[in-house]
Amino acid sequence: MNRRDIAFALLALSAAPLAAFGQPAEKMFRIGFLAGGGTPPDNSAPAPLRQAMRELGYVEGKTVAYVGRWANAKPERLPGLAAELIALKVDAIVALGGPVNAAARTATATIPIVMAGPSGDAVATGMVTSLARPGGNVTGLSDDAGPLSAKRIQILKEAVPKARRIAILWNSDDQAMTIRYNEIDKAARMLQVAVQPFGLRDPGDFSAAFDAMKHERPDALFLVADSLTFENRKRVADFAEQQRIPTMYEFGAWIRGGGLLAYGPSAEDSYRVVARFIDRILKGAKPADLPVEQPTRYYLAINLKTAAALNLTMPQALLVRADEVIQ
């Protein structure tokens, strides 16, 4: 080999990719996202989840890819959508909501499932054996339905002290949300407040609930969050505004459309926790060995514009505790 051949050989060696010499290429993980609500405009997993994964070092399109499926408030579609994710051989499934969790667990006993809120009480719904030892292939976030429901009712009563009857709207086909309704009912009775229950199963039930509330007007309205109520939240907000009924929601973002109060965890916090679960699973941890977590921080949001429209004066003690006040 002459000098010219040697120079070309050395140049080729320097330009050759490391993978050609035994350096393994970075693995591309596929994360499935399954939800009961509407398909987002970008047809992708929630931005807070993707951001949390980026913060953990995952590069979208290089080391991680997301595959989303949405039932568009048609729960009967969930089993088929879960089957699609499994057929795509995803490395983990992020499941958003009680019926979604159940559909994913029924579809696979091997692919890790990470519950994301609002998923309900994971033990009460039978998703896990216990918070400390979930068992099986499911872990993630769980609600502490009892104390949280009591706190929300307490805040609502503090903001609307004359409230004697509170309408509760919830998806009665969702076991987790029915458990939450029962806890709300229990908390309300402790405060000597009557509950006006409206169990909903499909979008058509909202009109019947509105008609009933016109006939027997509640002093306040509490909307329990799931995919069905989320997809119809504007209808609820518009009705409450027209009828001048104070509202309590479970997430701060919902009151920006005119609700009065919200108390609950933030999506950003929740998805950071979910991302940590995914990271540990992708690094070899088994869901059965990862204790289920509950939110550690809850945020109080108050819409003062709505309060003024309702001629309500928010107690100073409540305003001081608020994390967000919409002027």
DSSP 6-44: HHHHHHHHHHS-GGGGT-PPPP-EEEEEEESSPPPTT-S
CA-to-CA separations, 293 to 10, 58, 86, 120, 273, in angstroms, rounded:
55, 22, 25, 12, 8
CB-based burial, 89-101: b 16+ in 10 Å, e otherwise:
ebbbbbbbbbbbb
The answer, yes or no, to whether residue 22 has pLDDT greater than 80, is no
Q: Which CATH architecture has domain 145-265+299-326?
A: 3-Layer(aba) Sandwich (3.40)
The answer, yes or no, to whether residue 237 has pLDDT greater than 80, is yes
pLDDT for res 5: 45
Quickly name the fold that domain 25-142+267-289 has.
Rossmann fold (3.40.50)
Instruction: Please state the domain extents for the chain.
Output: 25-142+267-289, 145-265+299-326
Assess whether the region 25-142+267-289 and the region 145-265+299-326 belong to the same CATH fold. Answer: yes
**What tens digit of pLDDT does each residue of 64-77 get?**
999 999 999 899 99
Q: Whole-structure pTM over 0.85, yes or no?
A: yes
Q: Tell me the pLDDT band of 310, cut-offs 50, 70 and 90.
A: very high
Class of residue 224 by CB neighbours under 10 A (exposed 0-12, middle 13-18, buried 19+): buried
Class of residue 288 by CB neighbours under 10 A (exposed 0-12, middle 13-18, buried 19+): middle
Q: 69, 34 in Cβ contact below 8 A? A: yes
Class of residue 181 by CB neighbours under 10 A (exposed 0-12, middle 13-18, buried 19+): buried
**What tens digit of pLDDT does each residue of 145-175 get?**
778 888 999 999 999 999 999 999 999 999 8
* Sheet-wide strand order for 194-200: 194-200, 165-171, 220-223, 247-249, 261-264, 299-303, 324-326
